[in-house]
């Protein structure tokens, strides 16, 4: 009888502790699909992502990025600040039908952008985290639609897994990308 009571009490305490450490995903988005992606991140213990989101009071929404600038029409997501200083993660609305695993990786990436302009180290960290979470969240055997996002995530996961302490393939890819050279002003630093 005492063993049963102690077991029941222990289960109740563990259950309550588990709830206490769960993140309130509604505070970050009103969108059902985004909340499902956030719940998935919570399930795998992505506290670092939630701490970043909470630190910056980030809201996450789907948005037609071409409305900001037409050159953004093919971006996957961006971290932005509106005219009132509120921070948003804007996920390209063309990925509204992406899986929760794919959306979770975009959110993870963008959560690591904290400044108004990304640096090489920040972009490398954000991209590494995106790849890391894809390696954790991609469901083996699940058929993912062939999209630019899925191809990107698979490429990043490969680079992440093939990297070593002295050879960061993700950082090398970012340094050599014309897009990032422009965005991060890497090209001018490389010439010095």
For the chain, the structural domain boundaries read 21-191
- Percent of the chain scoring above 90 in pLDDT: 70
Give the integer Cα–Cα distance in Å for 10 and 24.
24
Give 187's pLDDT tier (boundaries 50, 70, 90): very low
Residue 132 contacts by C-beta under 8 Å, 6 or more apart in sequence?
A: 108, 160
Query: What pLDDT is recorded for position 3?
Result: 55
Say yes or no to pLDDT of 127 above 60.
yes
Question: Long-range contacts of range 154-161, CB-CB < 8 Å, 24 or more positions apart?
Answer: 156/127, 156/130, 156/131, 157/131, 159/131, 160/128, 160/131, 160/132, 160/135, 161/135
Query: What pLDDT is recorded for position 36?
Result: 98
Q: Output 20 or 137, whichever has higher pLDDT.
A: 137
């Amino acid at each position: 009888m005492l063993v049963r009571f102690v077991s029941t009490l222990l289960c109740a305490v563990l259950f309550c502790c588990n709830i206490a450490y769960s993140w309130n995903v509604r505070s970050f988005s009103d969108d059902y699909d985004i909340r499902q992606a956030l719940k998935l991140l919570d399930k795998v213990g992505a506290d670092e992502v939630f701490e970043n989101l909470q630190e910056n009071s980030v809201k996450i929404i789907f948005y037609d990025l071409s409305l900001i600038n037409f050159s953004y029409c093919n971006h996957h997501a961006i971290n932005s600040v509106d005219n009132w200083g509120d921070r948003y993660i804007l996920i390209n609305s063309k990925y509204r039908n992406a899986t929760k695993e794919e959306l979770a990786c975009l959110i993870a990436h963008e959560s690591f952008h904290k400044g108004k302009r990304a640096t090489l180290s920040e972009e490398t960290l954000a991209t590494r985290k995106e790849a890391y979470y894809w390696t954790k969240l991609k469901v083996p055997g699940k058929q993912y639609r062939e999209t630019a996002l899925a191809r990107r995530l698979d490429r990043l996961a490969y680079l992440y897994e093939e990297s070593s302490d002295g050879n960061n393939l993700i950082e090398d890819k970012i340094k050599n990308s014309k897009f990032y050279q422009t965005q991060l002003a890497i090209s001018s630093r490389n010439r010095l």
